[in-house]
Structure 1
Amino acid sequence: MLRIYDLCFAFIGLLVSSPLLMIIFFIGILDTGSPLFRQERVGRNGKLFTLVKFRTMSLDTASVASHLANTSSITPFGRFLRRTKLDELPQLWNVLKGEMSLVGPRPCLFNQEELIDERRSRGVLDARPGITGLAQVNDIDMSTPVLLAETDARMLATMSLSNYFRYIFMTVLGRGQGDRVR
């Protein structure tokens, strides 16, 4: 049932936000020359997929987990996108493609082995990764793999329609800071 909500909200979200997406895209061209960021992430059942976001860091930034990146890599426009979470909007395309859900564990990089092992042992990799979830609204990022995997497992065990909407509304209302960059 939640997959139907994912599809409907992702489609409506892309349709309604398309003017904003275009504006961000063109500002992104001026900001970095390459407004979209694509990165291989670990999805459902450990399968890799290409996550799409708006670029928030300079082009020469190493492809590492956000908590390992340097804050000086974030562009001024990228800082705005991260603060408002608008950098996440292109992931609605990943939701439409079936690679992600609106709510689920954030997809990690293929080389975050400790997190992958912790998630695998708790059955978290059985679920579609999400744009937001319990960990995100509680400021738990990938720098604490055991806590993150435990939180993801708790979210999946208690997932309901009301929690699904709760996490979405909490995110839209500004709860959680996303992955920290140090």
Structure 2
Amino acid sequence: MELGLTIPLRRHLKMNSLPHGETPDRGACWDLHVITLRGRKSLLAVHCRSRYAFVLFGLSGAEWEALPATFLEGLRRSLGAAGVEPETAGEYLRRAGDIRLTRTHGRREVAFLNRAWEDVTALDHALDPARREQPLLDREVNAKPSRCAGYDGTGPARQRLARSLR
């Protein structure tokens, strides 16, 4: 699995340059970005094929330092909250393989990440400042019809992710 880190996220983590992604299957690729929500640094993760997105609100320094593990835990919880069976999520993670940190996965993917970010900020009312995981915000963002790099036309990201996990 490739995690493409945006330049602002690499700066936040004080990371030097990363390699370009090599996985041709965008189903195993996520782009990650640091965003500020209600004054707290938060993680926005966007699936490159489906534009499914989830937010981890107000991460601690230790959580940022352990970004791959933090991401995986957040992904599992987000998928569970979205109704994905644990066996399906586990099979997806097995097929996706070990995590590699890379640069983001292309202009289109970053453009759709930016659209997801706009949706997150527009749906700020759904943010629960007492929780790291944001199931209500994630559900609302992923229910909106949107475009993505991996499918033609518009549709809810949650439905496209379900197709990608099969």
TM-score (norm 2): 0.31
TM-score (norm 1): 0.29
Specify the structure having the higher radius of gyration (Cα): 1
Higher strand share: 2
Structure with more relative contact order (C-alpha pairs < 8 Å, separation 6 or more) = 2
